[in-house]
Structure 1
Amino acid sequence: MKDITAQELKARLSQESQIQLVDVREPQEFEICNLGGELIPMGELPKQASRIRRDVPVVVICHHGFRSAQAINFLTQRLGYDNLLNLKGGIHAWASEVDPDMAVY
């Protein structure tokens, strides 16, 4: 599984490169803080995987990086995705390293 750090993601987003963000947290977590992108809670992945692109890099996001890793394993092993990156440390790392004004929980 490939990781991307918060700093690397910030650089990619600032370059406006083609990238999709998929957040696998729950809606109430997403409301507290998010980077935008597609909210597809972990339990909805089997039904909503078609929303995840295969033609651009996709960064999968959760709170600390564990659920997103599980999501990537599922999508890779069951559905053959090969373009997924795990946000190392999750949204918490983004708040700590990139955006200290972001709400945390």
Structure 2
Amino acid sequence: MDHVESSPPDDTEVELTPQDLHRLLAGPSDVLLLDVRDLWEYHIVHLAGAKLIPLHELPARLHELEAHRPTVVYCHHGLRSYDAACFLRDAGFPHVKSLEGGIDRWSAEIDPTLPRY
């Protein structure tokens, strides 16, 4: 998914690149970072301010999320987060995106100080 640098990401797209998220976080934003990995993965590395709800717990913990708050879901490589984003959209969360490539790609392209596993 390529975007013109001045264009905001299209809300119909499910995935968001690390570069798009970096730009989003650089400005004023109320975006929720939702980590759907397991607790042991979260302890290795996570994005600052992220809320942890492991993917298998997500259906039972929907009440913890705000349906209209912009949310970016991430995992290790982007597969679980894509599933979570699609699930959340189907559950009435229209402003949810999945971080393409997960925290591993974020570490490689945006913040190489974060540990990779």
Q: TM-score, normalised by structure 1?
A: 0.92
Misfit runs of 4+, over 4 Å: none
Match of 1:102 in 2: 114
Identity %: 39
Q: Using CA pairs below 8 Å that are at least 6 residues apart, which structure has the higher relative contact order?
A: 1
Aligned counterpart in structure 2 of residue 38 of structure 1, from 51, 56, 72:
51
**Is 1:68 aligned with 2:68?**
no
Q: TM-score, normalised by structure 2?
A: 0.83
Match of 1:14 in 2: 26
Is residue 22–residue 52 contact of structure 1 (8 Å, CA) maintained in 2?
no
Give the AA of the match of 2:72.
V
Give the AA of the match of 2:58.
L
2: CA distance, partners of 1:51 / 1:87? 20
1: CA distance, partners of 2:87 / 2:15? 16
Higher helix share: 1
- Cα displacement string for residues 14-36 of structure 1 (whole angstroms, at most 9, x for unaligned residues): 11311011000000001111003
Is residue 20–residue 53 contact of structure 1 (8 Å, CA) maintained in 2?
no
Q: Cα–Cα, structure 1 residues 101 and 10, in superposed 2: closer, same or farther, change >3 Å?
A: same
Count, aligned residues? 104
Structure with bigger gyration radius:
2
Is residue 15–residue 82 contact of structure 2 (8 Å, CA) maintained in 1?
no
Q: CA RMSD in A?
A: 1.2
CA positional deviation for 1:4: 1.0
**Is 1:4 aligned with 2:16?**
yes
1: CA distance, partners of 2:108 / 2:54? 23
SS of 1:85's partner is strand
Structure 2 residue runs of 5 or longer lacking an equivalent are: 1-12
Give the AA of the match of 2:82.
A
Aligned counterpart in structure 2 of residue 93 of structure 1, from 94, 98, 105:
105
